[in-house]
Amino acid sequence: MKKLLLSSVLVASLFAMNSDSDINTKIQKLEKEIQTLKSELYKTQNKLNPIAANNHLFFSLDIRTTYDAIREKTTDGMGYTTIIPNPDGSVTFSGFNPNIPSKTYTNQIFTNRVILTGVAKPSDNLKATVRIEANNMFGMNSNNQYSPYNNISWVANETPDDINIRLKEAFFNYHFGPNNGLMFSAGRRPATEGFPANLRAGDDPNSPLAHLINMEFDGFSFEIGNDIFSTISDKFSDWGTWIKFCAGRGYSSSKGKWPYDGSPAYSKDNFKNTDFAGFILVPYDDGQYSLWTETVWAWNMKGYNFVTQQDAINAQNGLDFNASMQDLGNYFGFNTIFKADGIGDGISDFLDNTTAFISFALSKTNPKSGKQMLGSTDSKTGTSWWIGADMPGIGDNDRFGVNFVRGSKYWRSMTYGEDTLIGSIAAVRGKAYEVYYNAEIIPHLTAGLRATYIKYDYAGSDAFFGLAGNPDQQVYIEKASDIRAYIRYKF
């Protein structure tokens, strides 16, 4: 616009001239004025945004205020009413009650989530991203007293609690090789709100696929893009084939800088490292129809287990027993999704703008000798189906969607922090039903409604791999619902 105004002034001035000398004089004067104006604009830009102007660092802001009305109903049965921590790190399950009646819990919770993102891109093939987040319930709460694992690094940003600012993402992507078709990345990776969980939040998808993994992690990735596959065969170019390898660590065996037992700094504790590795393979993606797969292995998964054989006997007889956090075994998971970004070709505007998908996932435990994973010393296989669609709404900038998930008895998704206060629909052992509606009020300001209902067939859907993940527990959440409303500013 400023260039257009300057050009208009110059043209008008030229037509007003009566001689060549006058024209030359006026042109020289205008050139000086243009240079002066450019200098002033440059100084003004630097004052307004010196970081962006000089170092190519760009910021974005995401503020979301949410209301959740939750309702959870337990089953009838028997169970333990108290969990008592012991000085050695174990816990005692005490206060056995042979007749715990069904009970319904309700609550209304306001939360405020703030995400600040900084992106630096000094060149076309190098980008770094840092994202920090505060996710708090309105007012003070007692989570630190009742939920000792509420702020572990896998889920700290996904579970509303205090107003502390935490690191959500910090990583770089470096592209290299032929046509920059190779990519290496390291740091705290974006691992929540992958497809299809991103649809319900109205966001772009992250990696990995959310049906199998939807929790934060620290690690590495290496991608071989379609440009590389295309050099092997033209078919790969048509198919849109690519693959990404990932590896990370969920628990570091370390006593820290100053161990209280006199051990050397950062020496190993009594646990083993929890590591994982896997890959995302997209064999086909033509822009409309695609097939995605995800495969993952994890080692030394943890959870509470019986301290002695007598504790297991006591538990069977309804007596108090002790349990401690232990390395229990390994894990394998697989997920495949068929997705359609538009159904058919020109049948209707509605179908052209509909995203539909069907996802199948499988999990398999491999307990160490004598250890129990998910309540069993045997290897257990679980499966889950997730079917859904995200569709245009009644206006120009609104969408609504539906989700249905069904998980088997021993299904175990790698997620604790999916954005549903009653639990993860991806991890459900039973059935989950969900509808949502997201709409734009004005540019950068959106609002949404979501209703989630879960019918659990077994216990332990959102638990660790030990006793709490045992599907045969007699007291557990049988039914749960969450009615959510939010308003969100994003720029």
Q: Model confidence over 292-344: pLDDT tens digits?
A: 999 999 999 999 999 988 988 888 888 889 999 999 999 999 999 999 999 98
CA distances for 424 relative to 147, 211, 304, 306, 434, angstroms: 17, 10, 21, 27, 12
Q: What is the dihedral of CA 208, 210, 216, 219, to 10 degrees?
A: -20
Query: How far is it, in rounded angstroms, from Cα 227 to Cα 179?
Result: 7
Mean pLDDT, range 107-119, rounded to an integer: 96
The contacts of residue 188 (CB under 8 Å, 6+ apart) are 167, 168, 169, 170, 171, 216, 217, 218
The three-point CA angle 404-408-409 to 5° equals 140
pLDDT in tens, 382-403: 999 999 999 999 988 999 999 9
76 sits in which H/E element? none
403-408 contacts: CB < 8 A, separation 24 or more?
Answer: 403/196, 403/200, 403/432, 403/433, 403/434, 403/435, 404/431, 404/432, 404/433, 404/434, 405/431, 405/432, 406/430, 406/431, 406/432, 407/382, 407/383, 407/461, 408/382, 408/383, 408/384
Quick check: 286 pLDDT over 90? Answer: yes
Instruction: Tell me what the pLDDT averaged over the chain comes to.
Output: 88
pLDDT at position 464: 87
pLDDT band at 1 (very low <50, low <70, confident <90, very high): very low
Range scoring the smallest mean pLDDT among 99-103, 219-223, 294-298: 99-103
Rounded Cα distance between 328 and 468, Å, is 13
The tokens for 331 are 């894990």
- Residue 4's pLDDT is 42
Over residues 54-82, the mean pLDDT reads: 86
Structure confidence at residue 41 as a pLDDT band (50, 70, 90): low
Tell me how far apart the alpha carbons of residues 340 and 347 are, in angstroms, rounded to a whole number.
14
Residue 29, pLDDT > 80, answer no
Express each pLDDT in 128-160 by its tens digit: 999 999 999 999 887 767 777 777 888 888 888
Does the global pTM surpass 0.75? yes
Judged by average pLDDT, the poorest of 23-27, 99-103, 225-229, 487-491 is: 23-27
3-class SS string, 108-171: EEEEEEEEEEEEEEEECCEEEEEEEEEEEECCCCCHHHHCCCCCCCCCCCCCCECCCCEEEEEE
Q: Specify the DSSP element, H or E, that contains 73.
A: strand 57-74
Residue 96: pLDDT above 80?
A: no
pLDDT of residue 169 exceeding 50, the answer is yes
CA 119 from centroid of its chain's CA atoms? 18
Q: How many residues does the chain have?
A: 491
Tokens of 176: 């290299």
Collapsing DSSP to helix, strand or coil, 448 comes out as: strand
From the CB of residue 450, how many other CB atoms can be counted at a distance below 10 Å?
23
382 pairs with which residues across the strands? Answer: 363
Both tokens assigned to 133: 């987040």
Q: How confident is the model at residue 15 (pLDDT cuts 50, 70, 90)?
A: very low
Confidence of residue 2 (pLDDT cuts 50, 70, 90): very low
pLDDT tens for each residue of 226-268? 999 988 888 888 899 999 999 999 999 999 999 988 899 999 9
How much is the pLDDT for 14?
A: 40
Q: Which has the closest alpha carbon to 473: 483, 463, 482?
A: 463
Residue 110 to residue 139: CA distance in whole angstroms: 9
86-95, 167-176, 462-471: least confidently modelled range:
86-95
pLDDT tens per residue across span 409-446: 999 999 887 779 999 999 999 999 999 999 999 999 99
In the block, tokens 């232990």 appear at 326
Judge contact between 132 and 116, C-beta under 8 A: yes
pLDDT at residue 38, as a whole number: 57
Whole-number pLDDT of residue 419 = 77
The model's confidence at residue 7, banded by pLDDT at 50, 70 and 90, is: very low
Percent of the chain scored above 70 by pLDDT? 88
Q: Single out the residue of 380, 375, 350 nearest to residue 363, CA to CA.
A: 380
